[in-house]
Amino acid sequence: MDNSFFISSLLDNDFYKFAMQNAVIKLFPLVKAKYEFINRGKHFFPKNFSNVLEKKINNMINLKLSYKEKIFLKKSCPCLDNSYIDFLDKYQYNPKEVKIEQKGKFIKIIIEGLWSKIILWEVPLMSTISELYYKLTGTKRLSDKIITISTKKKIKKYKELKVKVGEFGTRRRYSYHVHKLIMKILMKEGKSLFAGSSNVHLSKTFSMKPIGTIGHEWVMFHAAKYGFNSADRIAMENWINIYNNKLGIALSDTYTSKIFFKNFNKKLSNIYEGVRHDSGNPISFINETIKHYKKFKINPNKKKIIFSDNMDPFKVKCISSFCKGKITPLFGIGTNFTNDVGVHPMNIVIKMTEIFIKKKWISVVKLSNSKEKSTGNKKMIFFAKKRLHL
């Protein structure tokens, strides 16, 4: 295997994908789904890119959970029960679930199959696309030495701010090598501030517990099944039914934070440790969150907000300063760690687009607090906005 730009472990994926897969298996094991690649940055792909990508995907059939990885999951991820880890022990990627086409400089990718099986494709597929793109276009990065110096400077700033940061950069990393290098630096230089990585494989490599929250697809599915108005609430309730008070960070922007807070009732506000901000103005969101907690006579200082919307040292400084004495901030740093290497990071996503329930395919959409982050069928987006009075 060419491990220089290849997924070499079944666990080279974000923790929240495994947590969601576990929940899907338990509650919605027979639901079929479709995902699509979205080229937000309108990147031009080189000739034969799809053929090389297909070979990499075909090789992923060989990935199996090792005995040591299984033991790591049992020790470090107690929220994942033994029955799920046994499922993962037998899990195998099926390349037939992924269809790739290339027309000129653009690629089209559709993933289709049982939601419980195909849910793991998104993150490793995106990181492979990103790494392969730089490899095949001959895009050179900064040296390891310069990346190390730059990362150390960021860590120094975060230490001065006395904030906690996590590494969330698997999906759009420049390469696996760079990702591992960043983790080494964080482990060595940033122990006092480093909350962990969302990447399960690298967490195992550096003997850390992986961290993570939840993905938009969980709420998007619930909207298609139960309706847009109650999707956030039912999604949160189902999550709590699986994980009790573990993994208790609520995702706030699938159908805008306005709709989220309507669903985030007193019971859920008390149960959940905090919320994640992933789009829109962070300062407005902080004020909105604090006001919401106070309405239920909940002390905001005992709650958290995880900020994961394109974070960098400047944004972290502004947000942490505003949060001081009001609410506890944590920061999920993605691309600014794993692809701040002197190249233009790719602006790509893979999103769920349809689910098969009630004997038909139903479009799923995400509205977001930022218009450019909304995804899905335009007619369904219009319908969703109408139902939600947005």
What distance in Å separates the CA atoms of residue 124 and residue 119, rounded to the nearest whole number? 11
CATH top class, domain 3-140+345-388: alpha beta
pLDDT of residue 280: 95
pLDDT of residue 7: 93
Residue found by looking up tokens 């895009």 in the block: 139
CATH top class, domain 144-338: alpha beta
Q: Map out the domains of the chain as residue ranges.
A: 3-140+345-388, 144-338
**Closest by alpha carbon to 155, among 123, 201, 120, 189?**
189
pLDDT digits (tens, 9 = 90+) for 121-154: 999 999 999 999 999 999 999 999 999 999 999 9
What distance in Å separates the CA atoms of residue 215 and residue 115, rounded to the nearest whole number? 14
DSSP letters of 238-274? HHHHHHTTSS-EEE--TTHHHHHHHH--HHHHHHS-E
pLDDT digits (tens, 9 = 90+) for 222-231: 999 999 999 9
pLDDT of residue 3: 44
Give the three-state DSSP class for 109. Answer: strand
Which residues fall within 8 angstroms of residue 215, CB to CB, at 6 or more apart? 16, 17, 20, 251
Task: Specify whether the CB–CB gap between 126 and 199 falls below 8 A.
Answer: no
pLDDT of residue 1: 33
Task: Specify whether the CB–CB gap between 213 and 249 falls below 8 A.
Answer: yes
Neighbours of 221 (CB within 10 A): 25
What distance in Å separates the CA atoms of residue 249 and residue 79, rounded to the nearest whole number? 14
What distance in Å separates the CA atoms of residue 285 and residue 278, rounded to the nearest whole number? 10
* Identical fold, 3-140+345-388 and 144-338: yes
Paired with 199 in beta bridges are 14
**Helical residues (DSSP H) of the chain, grouped into ranges:** 15-27, 49-59, 67-76, 82-90, 115-118, 122-136, 144-161, 176-189, 200-205, 216-226, 231-243, 256-263, 266-271, 282-295, 313-323, 335-338, 378-388
What distance in Å separates the CA atoms of residue 317 and residue 345, rounded to the nearest whole number? 22
List, for the chain, all residue ranges whose pLDDT scores fall below the cut of 50.
1-3
The packing angle between helices 82-90 and 15-27, to 10°, is: 100
